[in-house]
Amino acid sequence: RVNYKIPEKLSTGLYPVKCTVRGDKSTAEGYMAIVPPGTECVVFSIDGSFTLNMSLMGRDAKIRPGAVEVVRLWQELGFVIIYITARPDLQKESVLEWLGMHNFPHGIVTFSDG
């Protein structure tokens, strides 16, 4: 559990965050999204929801029919799009390229290794 008081009023956007454990100095990095009050979000899991197969070897994973249209519908309804994946962070570039190549709407992409 982490509590943090934002020291100043931040405008809408995506901000890098780095947390450091006082004891062993280990760190965790991520991003904090600041959205207007009342903003609604929808979360999509990339692996298995958008893809018919999982390609960890660089091949283009087959896209599930209708996946892009579903995400676009939520975007048109005004929701912030959040994509999650269990792929390792080292695949970030290839995952972002895959989303763009298949015309998925822009959104926040979160990696949780494992």
Contact status, residue 29 vs residue 35, Cβ threshold 8 Å: no
**H/E run at residue 76:** helix 67-76
Q: What is the pLDDT of residues 41-57, one digit of tens each?
A: 999 988 778 877 665 55
**What is the bridge-based pairing of β-strands 108-111 and 13-20?**
unpaired
- Provide, rounded to the nearest whole percent, the portion of the chain with pLDDT above 90: 25
* pLDDT (mean) for 72-100: 88
Helix (H, G, I), strand (E, B) or coil at 82: strand
Q: Where are the beta strands (DSSP E) in the chain?
A: 13-20, 27-34, 41-45, 80-85, 108-111
pLDDT at residue 3 greater than cutoff 60: yes
Q: What is the pLDDT of residues 7-17, one digit of tens each?
A: 778 888 878 88
Beta partners for residue 34, in sequence order: 13
Whole-number mean pLDDT of the chain?
Answer: 83
Which of the two residues, 107 and 56, has the higher pLDDT score?
A: 107
Helix (H, G, I), strand (E, B) or coil at 74: helix
Residue 35 pLDDT level (bands cut at 50, 70, 90): confident
Q: Give residue 85's pLDDT.
A: 86
- Provide, rounded to the nearest whole percent, the portion of the chain with pLDDT above 70: 89
